[in-house]
Amino acid sequence: MGTIATALALFAVINNPVGATHPQPVSAGPNFLPAFRAVVPSMPSETRMMAVPTASSIALAEDSKTALFDKLISFHPEYFGGDPGITSKVDHIITAVEFIAAIPAYIPNPILMRNDEGQIGMYWDNDDAYVDISIDEDSSISLFSKVRSTDAEKFISNVNIAEIDNEWMLNNLGSLLIQYVRAA
């Protein structure tokens, strides 16, 4: 789906009144983040926005992340077919989209979750590691992780999405890769 088509489809999903004909979920492509940012009316300040990932980094993981992006779009308060009893904040959806887009291709995709209050999070759970990410009230990220083989635990909070880069990902999600390194 091209940039214009993606932007128009997202705009239709977000802005159509209840009872209007609504499109099916929008699939994410290489231009997903710019289009998403362009049509969401309550856009966070430019200083909070991280750089758009390169097309090559999205292309490596585009297909595997499409379902995650589609699920996050369905969390939008005005999304037709979403759960009307649970309301997530648009800024939190944007933060989750940005975080997932920043996950390098060598890190497995997380499982998305949303509680009854609309708070968005995600987690990974493998044989040796558990990692939980929460989107906080101020749209920052909190992380809890535990490595079972060493009983090492880590908790960090108030991480601004703009501070998250590949080094941060490796330092904080690298425990998910330990079982694969041992097997090699």
Rounded to the nearest 10°, the torsion over CA 80, 84, 87, 88 is -40
pLDDT of 8 reads 36
Task: Name the domain count of the chain.
Answer: 1
pLDDT of 140 reads 95
**Residues 106-144: pLDDT tens digits?**
899 999 999 999 999 999 999 899 999 999 999 999 999
pTM above 0.85, yes or no: no
pLDDT of 177 reads 83
Residue 53 belongs to what domain range?
A: 3-183
Beta-sheet strand order (sheet of 111-114):
111-114, 120-125, 129-135, 141-147, 152-159
Q: How far apart are the first and last CA of the chain?
A: 38
d(C-alpha 101, C-alpha 109), whole Å? 10
Tell the residue number behind the tokens 């649970």, with chain if given: 86
Per-residue pLDDT of the chain (184 residues; tens, 9 = 90+): 433 333 334 444 444 434 433 333 444 444 555 555 444 434 333 322 333 333 444 444 456 798 999 899 889 888 887 788 898 999 999 999 999 999 998 899 999 999 999 999 999 999 899 999 999 999 999 999 999 989 999 999 999 999 999 999 999 998 888 654 444 4
